[in-house]
Structures are given as structure tokens and as C-alpha cells.
Structure 1
Amino acid sequence: MTRYVYRFGGGANDGAAGDKTLLGGKGANLDGMASIGLPVPPGFTIATTMCARYYEEGEKFPEELFAEVANGIAHIETVTDKKFGDATPTGNGPLLVSVRSGARVSMPGMMDTVLNLGLNDQTVEALAATSGDERFAWDSYRRFIQMYSDVVLCLDHGAFEEALEIAKEDRGFHLDTEMTANDWKALVAKYHELVVEEWGKPFPQDVHDQLWGAVGAVFGSWQAERAKVYRRLNNIPGDWGTAVNVQAMVFGNMGDTSATGVAFTRDPATGENAYYGEFLINAQGEDVVAGIRTPQYLTKDARETAHAKPLSMEEAMPVVYGELAAVFDLLERHYRDMQDIEFTVERGKLWMLQTRTGKRTAKAALKIAVDMANEDLITQEEAVARVDPSALDQLLHPTLDPDAHRDVLTKGLPASPGAASGIAVFDSDVAEKRAEMGESVILVRVETSPEDIHGMHAAKGILTARGGMTSHAAVVARGMGRPCVSGAGALAIDAAAKVCRVAGREIREGDLITLDGSTGEVMAGSVPTVQPELAGDFGTLMVWADKVRRMRVRANAETPHDCQVAREFGAEGVGLCRTEHMFFDDKRITWVRQMILAENEAGRRAALDKLLPEQRGDFVSIFEVMTGLPVTIRLLDPPLHEFLPHAEEDFASVAEAAGVGIETLKRRANELHEFNPMLGHRGCRLGVTYPEIYEMQARAIFEAALEVGSKTGAAPFPEIMIPLVATKRELELMKEVVDRTAQAVFKEQNASVEYHVGTMIELPRAALKAGEIAEVGEFFSFGTNDLTQTTLGVSRDDASRFLTTYVDKGIYARDPFVSLDIEGVGELVQIAAERGRKTRPNIKLGICGEHGGDPASITFCESVGLDYVSASPYRVPIARLAAAQAALKARG
């Protein structure tokens, strides 16, 4: 019989502590902490497997789950010596529980939580009597009604917030902590009225009904829009599901000897080996995360560095802080990674509520991995495996110039490092829309919530008026690699009016601002940037990665600047030089159009003669930068329509250059019109029809190679790639052109260079006939951008209209243009590799589509045994690290 409920705490640990697949991350770690003797409130986990069954059965619970949950509640009752729903005003009081989600990977703030469950109009009186604190009891009850009404009953959260603010205004209070027991009683009565008004029924009084409502809400939140967006952004499969953790409540809001907090065993922003966190005295967990009250620092050093007045936990609660520090060290040694911890202090007793691998910036990830390897906590190979390759993107772009003028408007907390400039936007939907139009936006909010996830992802940076270093904005921004300034309390934000004010100045929607997430500064206008320095921990980890990777890493580059950037980032050659990108400047485009529109070979050659020295100069510049490394050059590939003139002035300039009439050119342009140009007269079809085009390009390549070889003494190694080949005969014809041109140039200059001729595999037929094509081609480079289009029958340029829906509905696990469709396109790559090697065992195999910089796709390339991947210059380090991790994974 399938088991769904697993107990933890009180000596009964049913699950395997490391089984995150079954118990979810939170449940597995609660079980783990309890098993090593840490003070964990007892509870139980409903396994992730129930989530899938819950949806399979129409969002209903199977009968056997009720008995298992009842046994779980009995376990908590036994350990705590409290009864669920007990309204007796004597003894230990009623058992209250929290109900929390827990997927196998952390999804901070994306799914739902309910605290203080088990309170009703009778048990609240019992809690007041047994705790001796009437104010605490009624405060807990109003919190429960507010949270349950929002999460489970789906009522308007704002109505309850408004009632709270009105109650405080009526009493002249500013803080929740100023409210008395009678104030909370009156607010609870108001909340009951709101529930009836909004829901049509009284607030649920049966504690078991409350429990099942909360469990259903947690499972339901797995399919909430914000959770689906987060999964899509982070490549988390939708069929994983979430676990539900039901745990005895402990209370941080029972006076000045109680507290709650969130902490990291190392600084998640910088990676410094120092405790990092915040806490609040007399508060519950949501107070810290939501930033409703300004939290206090965990350590004395942090408080003094920030010049903050409220005492740190180290100073205010030295005994408990000492216990907490010991727990931090134990957990980091146990899990061998930086931990993100939630804790509560109830009347002087420390309780651990959660530990998980902490979200961190790329800079922190590098430092923590390298430091832990140097501390012998992990091996160098483990350090390489620890850093998310995609996160390196945070380090590979410019930062603010420290010498530039800064018009500082205000300063908040440096919640997530990095810098960003963009227009101020006050709404997440607007941020997403304006970002889709190509604008750089800064999302400005009073505080963010899980519903802002899409706007946060679209934004270049995030600015909030409220919240601390562990607020929702800070945690999510760090995970996304977005700069974030939180807690900028001087900002007066009017989201409805789309304006914020600070120090007598206004920022309106559309105004340009700059954030420095490393200092917390908010500046007017745009601030210049400087290039990153990739030494230190970055350099160390890259050296370790290069030791273990098998595949080479090249760059997609066709300008000297891109080649230089790629080489500085460790590229071992150029895997794709797209020659068509060289023809679009004003002077050359006229000659290209003259060549295309010419009605005979003589006209085409006249235009090509003008292009030859320009093309030769291009290759000289590239070969000089990439001296000693292979350079794969793709001959002209794009559809002709991309070059055809449309405006009258364009036709006039071509007519003048060609010495023909405008009407003649227009007639010729009409003859060349194609209905589906991406599948039309492009690629090798151009070379077959007009071989003089590829002849000119080949001559430019060989003349440039000889020139650079003569200058430097290190001849470059050109690999000439024929695009869009579908048959062996196409490649034979084009190779004949290249070889004939090479011999002519070598004879003219009495010198030669080694070169290869190969093809780009980007059509399904080419993959299937790879064995024949390899009889001619000396290398294959998989052009997976077009191979994906032609295999799926999907236009990359138009797919954005429906691909998100396809991913959400599970048709594709991920966007196939971002991460390779391994089952379909991947199988073609594998077939081509196997058949190509069978014909030519030493054939060189690489990938040059955008997938060459995608870690998941690189893992597949390692499994197929490709020789190299090629990525855009700024993704070369990502590819190097991903290739190393793929090699480690292949070794098992």
C-alpha cells in the first residue's frame, strides 16, 4: 500500500533525510535536522506523490489519506502534550500547527503557507488562558483569520489590511505592537464580518475542516500562475509537485523573550564567511519576510557597520544567539553548503523551523564554492559542480564606473548586488510589456509579493521602499541575478499615480534611474559602466573546471571585438563566423544588392570585386585576434530578401552603382521575391546557383590567412563551412569551388595554409544522410537553431506567441529554442554523429546554435561525444563550466 505521510521530530523520523524527491526540500531537511538532534517542532510531511494524485482525482483527497493524516496529528499531540482543537482553559493549551509547501527545489515565496491553524472562537480563549498572554492569543487569531482568508478562502487580502490600518488609525497607533488585547478582539470581530460579507458564510470553526482546507490550498498553489511562471523561468518540471508540511507552531510573538528570524550561514550577496541575517523580537515569521517592521541585525558587527541603533540578536539575546551560532556551524558541516535558516525563539527557547541550501548571487556562489574547497569541506570537483553555470551571467557584464558622477536620490539596503539603469515602472504587468518592447525597466514597488514574479523577471533591477535583506524582493532578486535595493524608506511611492517622491524630487513612470545593488544607492539618470574583472575566485574555479572538462569551447563571433571578448573569456577558437553579418553597413549593402540584382555573372562579379577587399579585411582582423586557434567561417547563408532594397532611395543608390535603370532593378527584385524565404534561395543553394559568390569568399579567406600567417608566423586554421546542405552532391559542388580557389591562391602567393571544408547540419535530411555527407565533409557543425525550426516545423521568430502556453501545458518541457529538444532534435544530432563517425572516424563534431551556451543542452552534447560547443562570447565561461559539469556527470 502506498504511503503518503511521514513523521518527523520527537524521535519518530519516518522518511529518508535526503529524499527530496519524496519529501520535498523542506520536509527532507526537517527530517534531517531532527535526526541529528536539533530542536525541531514535531510534525509530518504529506509526500510530493500525493500532489499528482490530488490533481488526477479532480482536486480531491483519497480516503486513505485521512487516516494517515490523523495518525500524523496524533504524533504531534503526543510529542507536544497538546490536543488539536482543545478548548480547555487549563493544561498546555490547544495544539496549533503551520501548514507549508515544500517542493524538491526551493521556490521562495511562490506557494502558500498558513500559520496558527487550529484557532477558533473557543480555542483562542484556551490559548489566552494557558499562555497567560491574552494579547498574544488574540493577535495570533487575527493573523490566522487574515492569512487563511487570503490563502484558502481566496478573499481580498486588501480588505483585511485596510481594516487593520483603520483600527490603528482610530487608536493613533503606528505599529501592530502597540495594539492591545481588546484592540485585537475588536479587529477579529471585524474580520468575522468581512468573511461573511465576502465569502457568504462564517469563518470555519472546525479545526479539521481548517486543516484540510489549508492542505488543499497548498497543493492548489502548485498550479498558481506565479508558481508556473517561476517554474518556467527556472526550468522546474511541472510534474514534480509539492509536499505539504504540517508542524507544531512555536511562537516568536510571546513578548520580549521571544523572536523570529531568517539567517544565512554565509553572506548570500558576497559569499563572505560571516553570519548574515535579521530577526525581530516579539514577531512571527511573516513579519520578517514581508518587511512590515524594520528588522534588526543578527550580529553586533553587522549592526555597527550599518550604524543601526536597535540591538543585534548577539547583544539582545546572547545566550540564544550562542546556541544559534552553534547550530549554524553544525548545519553547514552536515549539509556541506551554505544554509538558509528560519528560526523562532519562544520565551527563551530556540526552535529550528527550516534549513535549505541558500540562494546566492553568482559572486557569492563562486566565493563559497572556492572557499569551501580550500577549507576541505568539499573537493575541487564538487566546487565545480556547485556553481550554476547560468548564474555566471551576472558576472560577465559591466558594473557602474566608480569614478562616474552619481546623482544620488536616496539610499536603501544593498539587497542584491550588481547595477542596472532603466525607466521607472510601478506595475509588474507594465514592466513585462515594456520589457517585451525592448525597453530596460526598473520595477519600483512599496514591497514585492509573489504575484510580481513576472515583472521582476522582466526588469533589469528592483527597488522597494519596504523590506529588509531577507525580504521577498531581496531573496528572489538574488536568485534571478537582478540588482535590488530594498528598504529605501525615504521613498514615498504612489503606484496608482505612477510616481514616487524623495527629498523634494519626483520620479515618474518613464524617468531614467540607476540602481547600485552593491551599495544600495538609487540615482537619477544613467551612470556609465566598466567591464568586469574575471580574476580571483572566478579564475580559480575556471581553472578547476578546465581540468575536468572534455569538450572544447568556442565562440560565435564575426567581429574583432567579439573575438577579443571571447578569447579573454577562454574561447578556444571560433565555432561560427556568420559572414552575412559583415555586409550590412551602408557602403557594402549597395554592392551586395548590386550583386543580387545583377542579371548575369559579369554583373555579379563586378559587384563581388568591390566586396573582395572588404571581406579579406574582415578575415584578417579576425585571424589576427584568434591567432593559433581554429576559425569556422560559414559562407553566405541568409535569404536574399534580407538584402533586397525596398525604399526608393535604396533602389536609386544601387542603380547608380550598377549603371542600370531603377525600373530594371525593381523588375529584378520582383522576380526574386519569395513566399517562404527561410526555406527558399539561401545557404548552399546560393552557391550552387551563383558559385562566384562562394569563390569570392573563399579567396578572401585564403588571402587573409596567408597574410596573417606571414605577419605573425602562426598561420590560422580556417574551417570553411557550407550552410544548409541537404545532399552529398551539394557539398561536393561547393567543396570543389573552395578547393579550386584555394589552389589558385596558394599558387599565386607560393604559400599555403591547412584548412578543412565541412558543413552545417541544420536540415533533418542532412542528419539522416550524414554517412554519405561525411564522405565529403571533414567536419559537422550542428546548426541547432535551424535544425529545431525544420524538425518541429516551428518558426523561431513567430513561436513566442504560443510557446509559453506549450511549456505550461507540458507539450514541451522547455522552450526548444533555448534548451535543445533532446527527444526529437537531439535524436537527429545523435544519428548524424553516429553515421558521420562510421564513415569518417576522425570527423570533428560541434554545435554552434544558441544551444551551445545552454547548460542542459551542453550536457546532452557531452553524452553524444561532440568535440566542442560554440556559444556567444559572453556565454563562453558558462559553456566552460557547463562542459565541466557534464563531464563530471558522465563519469558518475
Structure 2
Amino acid sequence: MPQTVASLKPLSIHATGAVDAQVFGARGARLARLAALGLDVPQALVYPPKLVDAIADGAEITWPDALGGQVLALRAAPQEAEWGGPESLLPIGVAADTLDHFIATRGEVEALRLQLQCIRNLGAAVSGATRNSIAPPPQSGDSAADLHHQIQTAREAYQAETEDAFPDTATGQLRAALRHMARGWHSASARILRAAKGAPEDAGLAIIAQVLVPNCRTGRLQFVDQSSGQAQLVGYVLQDGKEHPLSELSARECAALKALEAPLTRGHADACRVKFALDATGKPWLTDVRPAQRSARATLRIAVDLAKSELISREDALLRIEPRSLAEHLHHQIDPDETRDVVTTAMPASPGAATGRIVLSAQAAMAAEAQGEAAILVRHETSPEDIRGMHSSVGVLTIRGGMTSHAAVIARGLGLPCVVGAAELRLDMKARSFRGPKGRIFSEGDIITIDGTSGEVINGTCKMIAPDLGGPFTVLMSWADKVRSIGVRANADTPTDARAARSFNVDGIGLCRTEHMFFEPERITVMREMILADDAASRAEVLQRLLPMQRADFIDLFDIMRGLPVTIRLLDPPLHEFLPHEPDELEHLARVMNVGIDDVRARAAELAEVNPMLGMRGVRLGITMPEIYDMQARAIFQAAVAINAQGGAPVVPEIMIPLVSANREVELVKERVDAIAAAVQAETGSSFAYKLGVMVETPRAALRAKDLAKSSAFLSFGTNDLTQMTYGLSRDDAGRFMRDYVQRGVFAEDPFHTLDLEGVGELLVMAARRGRDTNPDLVLGLCGEHGGDPAAVRFCRLAGFDYVSCSPFRVPIARLAAAQASILAERGAALK
């Protein structure tokens, strides 16, 4: 028995009162909002989900009185647009019992064209046949006689396909159309498709029956340019089946469309795009509204403009921007309309895009720069020896490595586009080329483009969009700084890095990796002499030559960052990283040291370790070769004295000891650093303050933070190594299988890309609590690459950290994430 639907009636979108999207569907709710704003919307009724379910079960319906004498369009309106739904059906309602009315009001030819389209479209939907198998589309020159013949043929085709007569009443057509759409929503395939898109099992469908504007031209329009976000009428109007630019409309019609912008923007507190119909008089009727399509850059401009117009608050403007999207403002990006010949896709290690000639060595990169040519440095993986070449390149591509590999970390610091872990490429250094998938070969000198935002390696050149750091970007960042309550420092290793960081309005330097100061050509050889020295006395002698170089660097850093804290990490990497690998460099070093090449090789062999990342590095160097840290401490203090002598805010250096596991390590280093400080003060007759802290990179350091806090003014968490050691993963090699692990659900995300809150995060919280139990004034920071991860920034604020530190070009991302964390926390507190 058909269900009774006496208590279930279609609802008018023009009814007053609150509109529930669960009843009206997303599109119905949008139409109701347009009507509530007083805008012209064609009359429409919404069949709510319960009524649609009843129709699917066979409930009888009648033609609604409110829509009598009109041609209708039926459109699906699920609660969430992404759930999909049956295709729209239109026109509906031109049948034997209404044809005379439409002939009288629209003319015979137009009425017959509508009737033919009705049979053609509804017939194809109900029967499952194609439209053309029911009837070809009507032509502009068809006469009334032609159309009568086509209608009769279409009726016969429909009956042949369905073994039933085409409904010859308006109510019959509406019933058939509604039933087809309702049952289609409940089909097994439709259920599976929307379940895959996250819809609940009992998701309902509303159906909109809307009057079709007679003799109209339809179109689409938005009021901002989707690339820039600047105010502009963008869209088209359909006429004779073709899209025509809005510029072909009359001045009166354009003005009528332009007049819609203000009420739409005010009513939705956003830039909008609309579907519209222009009637015979040129009046626009709105049939749908959505947020305007926009790029990341346009999103920022729109949010700022809305806040300036006081349509939304500054806080809401900040919350509307995805922090990572700021990368599109900071770096060159490939034009979204550009066609890409993608060679392979790997890990997007540093955002931005660059085009250049392939070079396979640091020397080749420097030579290309000298000749004014852009170069993409391609390596199996980079090492400290490649830093000079990275400085000379416009982008870096490596075959191995992950998000915290050497190439990734350095590239982010330099603001270079970088793609790592391109395992599908086979690099052949002898042939000076690499082979890609499908046997494609690229030789040194060929031009490629890399997209560090998407991880794509692309053949040839691509049109680029330049960075945009002015106007709305600057305004938004100033708003972010006014509300954030956690500091954002930069990882900066050189004066160049520090200047870049300062331009991004940082709160100081949270990590200066001093090893990166030694790779300039005039320094690396001296550093290697020190490493290969036979004893402490010989090392100390060479270190005296490095002292003025280090001091000059620190003077520059302190000067650039004047008034802001600077955290300097003492030498961390294993010494083998500084040694040459190429035969010509080994021979050069032997000549400089005036020893035989075999002696150099033998000394290098003595320093070799099975697992150097867990060997003689970090604080272990400072304890076993204390003269190295002595030199660095002296250089730091002498630089502080030099800057303080110039007046202004005094420099208070923050010296950080890397890779600590036990408090005794801190005590041993602290004794020598304190002694060096006293010596420099005595030698110069100057006094200065300084802080000594620990870089927490080992799980044991996190567990024993209560002990470490006794000797430390601050704890800074190096989450790159802490993640590596907590998981037992090599951050340089994990990229080979990490994608499989994420796809199979072993890890929700790459833990080197997004901070692992459950494991590593628990260590951070535990260490923070234990450290401050011992020392309530203990300063807490995070200086790993996770410092630029928005989720990690929010976590650090909740955990009571004082600051995060990240690569200079990720500083704006961290500043915005910090502001959002503060806003959300305050709003959460207000709700309580």
C-alpha cells in the first residue's frame, strides 16, 4: 500500500524562519538564504528527505498549487554537496493537459520545443536510454509541424524502451521524475558511492522543484578574480549552446549583475559565485550560490578585505587561512593553468617551484651560477659538501632522503624548492644523466622544473607566478602577531639566513647550527686540518685560525638580531661529514697539510664509524675534544663583547649543547664554558650575561629532564633526531617506504613531516613537566623542522612552550598557526 503523505508536504524556500540543511538540503538552504536576503530567486519548493523516502516507497503526490502553470526543474539537494546525488531533470510539466496553456503564454513553437525536451530528458532518465535514442535535440529552425512529428516519434521510442506510455499529465511527469530521483538515491551503487565520501548510512536526500525562468539565458558569475582575489566580474552567459563572456551583455544587464555583489557579500560574509538566469527583460534571477572559487593568494586577500570592511572580525580572517597555504605567497609557484609533463612524483620537501638546467655536482652548480644560468642540483643525496652548490642552485632534487634529510632541511632554510626521495629515477654519474619511468633519459644540461609544493619533477619549463609578500599578506601577518601568545624564532645559520629571518619578523634565532659556518671554501680546508690533526695541541693550534672566522660570524648574527635572543648550538655532526670524498680534494688537503695522501686516507679511516649518527657527535665531541667547544665559546663571548661595546640592548647569548643524554655531560661542558666566559671577561674588562641550555634529542634526555633542568636555563627539543630515535627510523632512508606505511595506515602521517603527538608528543609533555618541576623558570622551545608544522605549533602552545623555531621561510606559517592557536584557545575558554 502506498504511504500516506498527508503530514509531509513540500516546503517553500521563501518561507520565513530558520532553515535546517538536514531538511532543505545544502542547495535548498542556500536558496532559502538568498530569498531571505531579499534577492530575486525563482519560486521553489523543497521535498524534504522524509517525503522523498515516502515517494521512493510509492507514495502518491499531486502537482503543488504553488507552482501551478509553471515549467519546473528538479534538482538533488543532499545535506552535503560532496555526497553527490541524481542528475537534475528539466523541463518538467509540459504535457497534454498543460500544452494549451503554454502555447497561449509562450507561443506554439516554444511550447512544443519544451514538450519535446521534456520527453527526451525525462524519458532517457527513466528508461536508461540515451537522450538521442529517445529523440534528437530540437533545432532552431524546426517548425511546429516538425516538432509535432518529433514528439510523436519520441513517444514511440519511449514506449519501446520502457513498455509503457510516456506520462501525459504534468502531475504524472512530476511523479515519475521524483520517483526516479528518489529511488536512484537509495540504489545500492549510490549508497556505496556516498559512503565512500563519508556520508552516514541513513543520509537523506531533499529534492528541489524550482520554476524555470521563461525565455531566459543562464550563466555563472563570481565577483572576484580567482587567482588574485581582486574585485572583478568573472563569468559567462549561455546562448545558443555556447558560452559568451559577460562583456557581451548590455551595460544595463552588467550593472544589474554587479548590483548583486554587495548584498551577496554582506549576507554571506564572503565572496560569492552564483548561477543566474536573465529573463527577457534582462533581470537576473539567482538559482544557486557558493563561495567564490579562489587560489590560496586570493583566499588571503578576500579574508583581509572582508575584515577591513568589518563584515568579519580580524580573528575570523586569520582563522580562514590555512597556514601552509602561505607558502604560495613566499615562493614562485607554477601557474595553475600550465600543462605539466610530469616525469615522476616524490616527496615535497621544500615548497615553491623552479626551472633550470640539470647539474650533477656542486661545482657544476657554481659554474652555472657564474655564467648566469639557473641550475637544478640533482644528487643521490646531499652532504655538507654540497651546501655551496645548493646556494648556487635554484632548486634541489635528490634520489634518496626524506622530509628531514640534509637536502630538505638546508633547502627549507635557503627557501629553495626541493624534491627528495625520487626513487623512480636512476642516477648514472658516469653517463652524467638520470633515467626516469618509461625509459625517459635526462642528461646534464637538460631543462627540468621541480615543484617542491607538490613533489613533481616536470620535463621542460613552466610558466611561474612570482611571490607576493606585500599588501594583504603584510596586513594579515601584523594581525597574527597581535594575538599570538607563543614566540616564533628562526633556524638561521649564517648572516644571510639571519637577514631573511629578520625580514619575516621573527622573535629571535632559536637554532644556529654552527657547523654550517665551516663550509665556505676558505674555511673547509682549515676545518679539515683540525679534524685530521694528530693530537689536542695540534687541534688547538688550527682552532686558533678558525676562532676569528667564528667570531666574525657571531658578530654579524648578534648585530642583525640586535635586541632579540640568539641560540647557538655548539658543533653537532660527526666529523667525517667535513672530510672530502673526491680524489682531487683529498690530494689538495694532503698538499695543504704537507703530508702524504696515504696519511690523509689513514686518518680519515680512523674517524670512520659504523653508525656515525649515533657515534662521536654532539656533546660527545665537546667532552672528548673539549678544545673545539672552547674555541666556539670564546668566539661567542668575544662577539658579545664587541657588540655590547657599541651600546644599545645588550647581547645575551644562548649556548646550546646538542645530543645530551645525561646531566653529567651538561656539567662537564658547563664548567669549561663558564671558565671561558670568566677568562674573556678578565681579558676584555667587560661583563656580560649568557644562558646555557640543552638540545633534547634523545629519549633519555626527555625522560631525565628533571636532572637536566638543574644545570640548564632552557630546553630546546630537536624533534628531527628525537623522532628518529623514538621510532628507530633513519630520517634519511625512511622515505623509501614511508608512503606505503601511510597508505596502509601504519602511521597516520609521516612522523618527520607532522609531529607524532601520541609518542614523541608525550615525551615532550613529560619532559616539559619534569623540567619545570625542578626549575619553574625553565624556558621551553622546539627547534626541529616540526616548528613550522601548524599542528605542532598548536601542540606547543597547549603544552606551555615559550617558542617554536623553524626555517626562515616557514616563519610566517608558524606565526599564523600560533595566532590561530591563541584564538581557538580563547574561544574555547569563553565557551566554558
Task: Output the TM-score relative to the length of structure 2.
Answer: 0.69
Q: Deviations over 1:861-886 (max 9, x none)?
A: 22112112222222323322222221
Distance 1:774 1:23 in 2: 60
Aligned with residue 597 of structure 1, among 532, 537, 542: 532
Q: Matched residues in 2 for 1:568 and 1:268: separation? A: 28
Q: How does 1:283-322 map to 2 (within 5 A)?
A: 293-297=242-246, 303=247, 310-311=248-249, 315=252, 317=253, 322=256
Distance (whole Å) between structure 1 residues aligned to residue 200 and residue 700 of structure 2: 36
- Which residue of 185, 193, 218 corresponds with 1:220? 193
CA deviations on 1:484-533 (whole Å, 9 max, x unpaired) are: xxxxxxxxxxxxxxxxxxxxxxxxxx878999xxxxxxxx9799998755
The 5 A counterparts of 1:187-206 are: none
Say if 1:863 and 1:68 are closer, same or farther in 2 by CA, change over 3 A: farther
Q: Letter of the 2:180 partner, please give it.
A: V
Mean Cα displacement is larger for which, 338-347 or 722-731?
338-347
2:751 aligns with 816
Residue matched to 1:211: 184
2:52/2:207 contact within 8 Å kept? no
Q: Which residue of 1 aligns with 2:311?
A: 377
Is 1:558–1:577's contact at 8 Å kept on the other side of the alignment?
Answer: yes
- CA distances 1:17-64 after superposition (whole Å, capped 9, x unpaired): 5879x9997676456556667637444687xxxxxxxxxxxxxxxxx9
Give unpaired runs (5+ residues) of structure 1. Answer: 1-5, 47-63, 83-90, 154-159, 196-203, 225-237, 285-292, 298-302, 304-309, 399-417, 443-459, 461-481, 483-509, 516-523
Q: 1:542 aligns with which of 463, 470, 477?
A: 477
Deviation (angstroms), 1:619: 1.4
Contact kept, 8 Å, 2:233 with 2:258, in 1: the verdict is: no
The answer to whether the Cα contact below 8 Å between 1:807 and 1:813 also exists between their aligned partners in 2 is yes
- What is the CA-CA distance between 1:579 and the residue it aligns to? 1.2
Equivalent residue for 1:259?
A: 218
**Native 8 Å contact 1:100 1:114 kept in 2:** no
CA RMSD of aligned residues (A): 5.3
Aligned-partner SS, 1:717: coil
Out of 494, 505, 510, the residue aligned to residue 570 of structure 1 is 505
Give 1:778 deviation, angstroms. Answer: 0.5
Residue 573 of structure 1 and its aligned partner are, at CA, apart by 1.0
CA distance in 1: counterparts of 2:543 and 2:711, whole angstroms: 27
> Quick one: structure 1 residues 7 and 826, their matched pair in 2 at CA, closer, same or farther if it must change by over 3 Å?
farther
User: Are 1:26 and 1:356, in contact at CA under 8 Å, matched by a contact in 2?
Assistant: no
Distance 1:637 1:145 in 2: 75
Q: How far off its partner does 1:784 sit?
A: 1.8
Larger Rg: 2
Q: Distance in 2 between matches of 1:256 and 1:820?
A: 59
Cα separation, partners in 2 of 1:647 and 1:358, compared to 1, 3 Å: same
Contact 1:594/1:658 (<8 A) preserved? yes
> 2: CA distance between counterparts of 1:115 and 1:386?
32
Residue type matched to 1:207 in 2?
A: H
Please state how far the C-alpha of 1:124 moved relative to its aligned partner. 11
Deviation at 1:891, TM superposition (A): 0.9
Following TM superposition, by how much is the alpha carbon of 1:630 offset from its aligned partner in structure 2, in angstroms?
0.9
* Distance (Å, rounded) in 2 between the aligned partners of 1:836 and 1:23: 55
**Aligned equivalent of 1:102, options 69, 80, 93:** 80
Match of 1:473 in 2: none
Contact 1:99/1:215, CA 8 A, preserved across alignment: no
Task: Check whether the contact 2:693–2:712 (CA below 8 A) recurs between aligned residues.
Answer: yes
Match in the other structure for 2:676: 741
Contact kept? 1:101, 1:218, Cα under 8 Å? no
| Matched letter for residue 319 of structure 2 | A
User: Retained in 2: the 8 A contact 1:780–1:845?
Assistant: yes
**CA distance in structure 2 between the partners assigned to 1:614 and 1:148 by the alignment:** 82
Q: Which residue of 1 aligns with 2:88?
A: 116
Deviation at 1:758, TM superposition (A): 0.4
Tell me the residue number matched to 1:876. Answer: 811
Question: Which residue of the partner structure matches residue 466 of structure 1?
Answer: none
State whether structure 2 residue 595 is matched by structure 1 residue 660.
yes
Secondary structure of the corresponding residue to residue 823 of structure 1: coil
CA distance in 2, matches of 1:177, 1:814: 57
Distance 1:513 1:730 in 2: 47
Q: Within the alignment, does 1:847 sit opposite 2:825 as a pair?
A: no
**2-side partners of 1:542 and 1:825: how far apart?**
30
Between the aligned partners of 1:101 and 1:256, the Cα distance in structure 2 is: 31
- CA change 1:93–1:585 in 2 (3 A) is same
Contact 2:55–2:182, Cα closer than 8 Å, also in 1? no
Question: Match of 1:276?
Answer: 233
Partner of 1:333: 266
What SS does structure 2 have at the residue aligned with 1:862?
helix
* CA gap 1:836/1:98 in 2 versus in 1, 3 angstroms: same
Q: Is the partner of 2:87 in helix, strand or coil?
A: strand
Q: Is the 8 A contact 2:630 2:672 kept in 1?
A: yes
CA contact (8 A) 1:271 1:364 kept: yes
Shift of 1:776: 0.9
Q: Secondary structure at the match of 1:341?
A: strand
Structure 1 CA distance for aligned equivalents of residues 10 and 702 of structure 2: 54
**Residue 55 of structure 1 aligns with which residue?**
none
Equivalent residues in 2 for 1:330-729 (5 A)?
330-344=263-277, 352-397=286-331, 426-427=340-341, 429-430=342-343, 432=345, 440=353, 534=470, 536-729=471-664
Give the aligned partner of residue 753 of structure 1: 688
- Give, in whole Å, the separation in 1 of the partners of 2:675 and 2:588: 34
CA distance in 2, matches of 1:531, 1:648: 41
Correspondence 1:830 to 2:765: yes
Distance 1:623 1:762 in 2: 26
2 CA distance for matches of 1:268 and 1:889?
28
Shift of 1:835: 1.5
Q: Distance in 1 between matches of 2:610 and 2:687?
A: 43
Over 3 Å counting, the alpha-carbon distance change for 1:93 and 1:334 in structure 2 is closer
Q: 2:743 & 2:803 partners in 1: Cα distance?
A: 32
SS at match of 2:88: strand
Q: Aligned partner of 1:690: which letter? A: M
C-alpha contact 1:858 1:869 (8 A) present in aligned 2? yes
Write the letter of the residue equivalent to 2:485: R
Alpha-carbon offset, residue 598 of structure 1? 3.4
Residue 818 and residue 583 in structure 1: after superposition, are their counterparts in 2 closer, same or farther (change >3 A)? Answer: same
Task: Give the equivalent residue in structure 2 for 1:248.
Answer: 208
Amino acid at match of 1:558: D
| Identical pairs, percent | 39
Instruction: Name the aligned partner's letter for residue 97 of structure 1.
Output: R
Contact 2:490 / 2:501 at 8 angstroms: preserved in 1?
A: yes
1:775 deviates by 0.6
Q: CA 1:336 to 1:662, structure 2 compared with 1: closer, same or farther past 3 Å?
A: same
Say how many residue pairs are matched: 691
| Secondary structure, aligned partner of 1:609 | helix
Please report how far the alpha carbon of residue 626 of structure 1 lies from its aligned counterpart in structure 2 after TM superposition: 1.0
Unaligned runs of 5+ in 2: 1-7, 162-175, 356-394, 396-416, 418-445, 452-459, 828-832
Q: Structure 1's 352 and 327: CA in aligned 2 closer, same or farther, altered over 3 A?
A: same
Q: Secondary structure at the match of 2:660?
A: coil
- Distance in 2, matches of 1:863 and 1:78, equals 56
- Give the TM-score normalised by structure 1: 0.65
